Amino acid sequence: MSASGQLPPEHGSDSNELASTIELRRALRTAFDAEPGPAPRARAAVLRRIHAQKSDQRVSWLAPVAAWLRAPLVPRWAPAAALLLIVIQGAALIHMLPGRTNPAATVTTRALVTTATRLRVVFNPLASAAQMRELLDALGARIVDGPASTGAYVVELAAADPKQLSEKLNAARARHDVLLTLELAPP
């Protein structure tokens, strides 16, 4: 555009359109400049409204607290809560499927004490004290009661594997030079 407000002739029809737009703009500006401003009462009413809105915004320091308290009532979180509930229920159902074993559910008892075996033994009167001690050591036994009026002693054997215990008792019964009788004692 030149200093006179005219476009060079090489721009053709575009320059004519632009020139007409510029002229329209000038005409509108002069028309608006000639119009009077808003009435003083209307201007004062608008300014009062603006100041009232600003003062309402300053007083509402409780607005964030109120918004936070209202948040649970707004259903924005409801889809997330529903999805979480569905996932938990699915996990519970999968956990309860048959055929699944829980190794933590097996119970191992450690508080049960294996009871010692008690036997009633009558020693051969001809056996020496050394022979009796040797037999008791071979059985892993100790005398816990006796002798009774019948000459019987109650001996207690340490807890052992039943197969080993049976073998030890059979070997002791074969020792007729030390034992006369060997039987289970009543509890």
What domain range is 159 assigned to?
117-184
pLDDT at 67: 79
Look at residue 111 in the predicted model and tell me its pLDDT.
58
Task: Report the domain count for the chain.
Answer: 1
Q: CA 46, CA 56: separation in Å to the nearest integer?
A: 16
Q: How confident is the model over 10-30, as pLDDT tens digits?
A: 555 678 899 999 999 999 888
Distances (CA, A) of 174 to 10, 150, 155, 169, 179: 137, 22, 18, 9, 8
Query: Tokens in use for 155?
Result: 């001996």
Stretches where the chain sits below pLDDT 50 are: 3
Answer whether 150's CB lies under 8 Å from 141's CB.
Answer: no
Report yes or no on 133 lying in a domain. Answer: yes
For the chain, report the end-to-end CA distance as a whole number of angstroms: 125
What's the CATH code of the domain at 149? 3.30.70.80
